[in-house]
Amino acid sequence: MKGKTHAGIGVLTFIAAYNKLPIKMELSGLAIITLASLLPDVDHPKSIINKYILPFKNKMTKVVFYACIGLTILYYSFMCNGEDYLKALGILFILIAISSHRNGLTHSLTGMIIFSFLAGYIGNIYNIDNVIYYFMSGYGLHLLCDMGTNRGVPLFYPFKRKNVKLPFTYKTNSKTGNTLEDVIAIIGLIYAIYRLPKIF
Ligand SMILES: [Zn+2]
């Protein structure tokens, strides 16, 4: 599924859930949901996130780039007696480096839980409320949407290798698939334009 469709679905869910939940939702929540709904595809060198981060969009650059960040963070946290979350962050970057697209950690429940806890922890440090909920919603939606494609996702990685999909799937990058994604994006955009001014 394309990044813009994932982001669109994330934004749409935020708007739809706004005012219907007991917790007070903030603008920062919208940013976190959008980011979290793009994050699982960080395992793909050509995804939206990597488009802005990687100097060259190929697999080798992705592996080297994220491995270097991970090792630097790990080195720093061990040398300076950094907090445990820094060590976890370092290991996470290394796992991103070695995951090939939709084959590993970032498209699994384990990945979702690790990323969400880290996001919640970092949110606490900066006093941003409810980060973990926003983050899990965005991330979970991404996995759910990818389960709607014919390839599915390795939901139970690393415990089970099998890809899980929904009973109804469509083929990504096929004509029908692209049309379906465009329709979702357009409906989302219209709904957002209609509802957003009332929220902010
Ligand atoms: Zn994905």
**7-62 pLDDT, tens per residue?**
888 888 888 887 777 666 677 888 899 999 999 999 999 888 888 888 888 899 99
Distance 19 CA to ligand 1 centre (A): 28
Distance 2 CA to ligand 1 centre (A): 8
- In angstroms, the CA 120 to CA 118 distance is 5
Q: Is 170 exposed, middle or buried (0-12, 13-18, 19+ CB in 10 A)?
A: middle
pLDDT for position 186: 86
Distance 102 CA to ligand 1 centre (A): 6
Distance 76 CA to ligand 1 centre (A): 31
pLDDT for position 64: 94
pLDDT of 200 strictly over 70:
no
Sign of CA dihedral 65, 71, 73, 75: negative
Global confidence as pTM:
0.87
- In angstroms, the CA 59 to CA 34 distance is 24
Q: Where are the alpha helices (DSSP H) in the chain?
A: 3-17, 27-38, 48-53, 59-79, 84-98, 109-125, 131-147, 175-199
pLDDT for position 38: 93
Distance 107 CA to ligand 1 centre (A): 7
DSSP lists the bridge partners of residue 153 as: 164
- 62 close to 104: Cβ distance less than 8 angstroms: no
- In angstroms, the CA 6 to CA 183 distance is 13
pLDDT for position 25: 67
- 185 close to 177: Cβ distance less than 8 angstroms: no
Amino acid identity of 105?
L
Distance 88 CA to ligand 1 centre (A): 22
**130-188 pLDDT, tens per residue?**
889 899 999 999 999 999 999 999 999 989 989 999 998 888 888 888 898 888 888 88
CA 120 to chain centre: 14
DSSP lists the bridge partners of residue 149 as: 170
Distance 143 CA to ligand 1 centre (A): 7
Distance 5 CA to ligand 1 centre (A): 11
